Amino acid sequence: MLLSGKNGAKTADAGAVEKNGGHAPAQDRAQDREQDQDHHSRHGQEQGQGQGHGFASLLAVEDGIVYKPAAEGHTRWYRRLLDAGVEENGIKPVPAGDRTNMQYNNLFTVFFTGLLCILPLPTGMLATTVFQLSLRDASLTILFFSALCTVPPAFMGCGGYKTGLRQMIQARYSWGLYIVTILLFLNAATVTGFSIVAAIVSGQTIAAISPGNVSVTVGIVIVILVSFVLSLLGYRVLHIWERWQWLPNLIVITITVGVGGRHLANQQQVPSATASQVLSYGGLIAGYFITFGGTASDFSIYHDPRARLRKIFTYIYLGIFTPSVPLLILGAAMGGAVPVVTGWAEAYEEYGTGGVMAAMLEPAGGFGKFVLVLLALSVVGNIGISMYPVALNLQMLIPAFTKVPRFLFTLAVTALMIPLSIAASRAWEESLENFLAVIGYWAGFFDAVLIEEAVVFRRLNWDSFDHSIWNVGRKLPSGIAALAASLLSLGLVIPSISEVWFVGPLAKTSGDIGFELAFFGTALFYFPLRWLEIKWRGHL
């Protein structure tokens, strides 16, 4: 037995709950909620008596405090923001009684719409422009690695509606309250990086509408500000937006392919792919997909926990996989045609992916320029859902940040993204390749630990993610096992890296297999280390 007798009893209780359809009877759940409310009320009174008044007490955060909608006690301007749809809750756990959203298909549309845009195109283009794969080899590589690497984030996204915890709060139950801070920075940087990629592609597309009159910089600023407004409104508005924006996005992408698609059959001639090429590009695809594991639960924490796990997994999996794969392959086809089709190489050199799309739509004249505008705006939903978890990550850095309104962090992220996007656009292709490769390594460590923790050590007993300890460091795991497992697997990853700035001895013959070793190496090392930690501390 991995768990102590006390924890084993909890697991048995959880098994009984599963037999009743994955939830306790309504009467029991109501009694539990009343007990929780009484506990937190008494706890808050005790905390208040000891803390006194003033600025310090205002920023103090109670141990185990959970989210409760509070219409009273807000200033007039703040209530107006809430009335407009701005989300009130930040990172506090959402009790089961407040998880009532039964529109589970939102979990499909929020990802489907966010990815049904021009963001995947440049990643697909790297297959044929940088890695020199044929369209056939690129397509097969994309299909295989996408199917495999969408599984971790789809599973991890299920933890949100089952636990009521944000993704990086769930991480505290394996990485600990303090060590998880490292991952908060990495996750925020990753998600911001994807937003920067989306903003650059959009800016390039806007600039290509009127060459010489509108710069890429202006286009970047426009799309980031529009996305800021969407992200500011929060969870509910994001789901509404993502439910419908996919339709115009799909129409304009279809028009673009219909107008310029006849050129995509003209592909550059390259030798058959080597194992090194396939594995190296596959590592980039892994970096594209598995990093969703750091944010997937953030969009499901208000959904009713009674739904079957398989149902939620399927919605999230298809929401990520379905739009990404065709667009990645379309990007590969565009990249393979760039050296062959007249004018495309110049357009790509000047405006990147946006320039190629402008060349494809050139026969449509003024209507083609209108389509380009809509293509540029197609990333708004993607950047919006990216800014949302980044702001949440920043709230988790310091306990006092829990009481700071989330929209202030969204504003800070926006202010940071604009200069970073402008700087990255100057060395576009190199920035994208290095970014996708590096993020795949840390995401492999992270995803492996969270999945193994939930499946092996907690045995899918979601009640073991106790809300009363979500911000109590002494009761959470130390995080030492997760950190040590990651560092040990890093010793395998470094010799397997193949980048412009470093090629490890293993990678010289095998290609870049750093992601694979990061994921499976961490999973292998984490098992004995976490087992020892549980024995040492006497609890999960």
- Name the DSSP letter for residue 87: -
Cβ atoms < 10 Å from Cβ of 430:
13
CA distance 327 to 378: 13
Q: What pLDDT does 51 receive?
A: 42
Q: What pLDDT does 18 receive?
A: 36
- Name the DSSP letter for residue 300: T
CA distance 347 to 515: 33
- Name the DSSP letter for residue 273: P
Q: What pLDDT does 1 receive?
A: 37
Q: What pLDDT does 507 receive?
A: 87
Of residues 198, 210, 223, the one with CA closest to residue 350: 210
Of residues 387, 292, 322, the one with CA closest to residue 108: 322
Q: What is the pTM of this model?
A: 0.83
Do residues 307 and 462 lie in contact, with contact meaning Cβ atoms separated by under 8 Å?
A: no
CA distance 331 to 117: 12
Of residues 446, 460, 106, the one with CA closest to residue 290: 446
Q: Can you give 17-43 as a three-state secondary structure string?
A: HHHCCCCCCHHHHHHHHHHHHHHHHHH
Q: What pLDDT does 40 receive?
A: 44
What's the gap between Cα 112 and its chain centre? Answer: 13
pLDDT in tens, the chain (540 residues): 344 434 444 433 433 333 333 344 444 444 444 444 444 444 444 444 444 444 444 445 677 677 565 544 556 655 555 555 555 556 889 999 889 999 999 899 889 988 999 999 999 999 999 999 999 999 999 999 999 999 999 999 999 999 999 999 999 999 999 999 999 999 988 988 888 889 999 999 999 998 888 889 999 999 998 888 877 766 567 667 777 888 999 999 999 999 999 999 999 999 999 988 999 899 899 989 999 999 999 889 999 999 999 999 999 999 999 999 999 999 999 999 999 999 999 999 999 999 999 999 999 999 999 999 999 999 988 887 787 778 778 888 877 777 777 778 888 888 888 998 998 888 776 777 777 777 888 999 999 999 999 999 999 999 999 999 999 999 999 999 999 999 999 999 999 988 777 889 988 888 888 889 999 999 999 999 999 999 999 888
CA distance 490 to 442: 9
Contacts of 36 (CB under 8 A, 6+ apart): 66, 95, 467
Q: Name the strand (E) or helix (H) holding 123.
A: helix 120-129
CA distance 254 to 318: 20
CA dihedral 234→413→328→514, nearest 10 degrees, is: -120
Contacts of 413 (CB under 8 A, 6+ apart): 192, 387, 390, 391, 394
Q: Can you give 37-64 as a three-state secondary structure string?
A: HHHHHHHHHHHHHHHCCCHHHHHCCCCC
Q: Name the strand (E) or helix (H) holding 512.
A: none
Distances (CA, A) of 155 to 28, 80, 167, 172, 290: 28, 37, 12, 17, 11
CA distance 134 to 120: 18
Angle value at C-alpha 448, between 133 and 322, nearest 5 degrees: 50
> 204 by DSSP, 3-state: which?
helix
pLDDT tens, residue by residue, 280-297: 899 899 989 999 999 999
> 366 by DSSP, 3-state: which?
helix
Do residues 2 and 535 lie in contact, with contact meaning Cβ atoms separated by under 8 Å?
A: no
Do residues 203 and 421 lie in contact, with contact meaning Cβ atoms separated by under 8 Å?
A: yes
Q: What pLDDT does 13 receive?
A: 42
Q: What pLDDT does 45 receive?
A: 42
Do residues 382 and 110 lie in contact, with contact meaning Cβ atoms separated by under 8 Å?
A: no
Amino acid found at 460: L
> 327 by DSSP, 3-state: which?
helix
Do residues 410 and 387 lie in contact, with contact meaning Cβ atoms separated by under 8 Å?
A: yes
Q: Which burial class, exposed, middle or buried, applies to 187 when counting CB atoms under 10 A from its CB (0-12, 13-18, 19+)?
A: buried
pLDDT tens, residue by residue, 315-366: 999 999 999 999 999 999 999 999 999 999 999 999 999 999 999 999 999 9
> 455 by DSSP, 3-state: which?
helix
Half-sphere exposure of 355 (CA within 13 A, CB side): 18
Distances (CA, A) of 23 to 39, 92, 317, 488: 22, 22, 24, 39
Of residues 96, 150, 136, 492, the one with CA closest to residue 301: 96
Q: Residue 116 has which token pair?
A: 């049904």
Distances (CA, A) of 382 to 188, 191, 222, 255: 15, 10, 15, 21
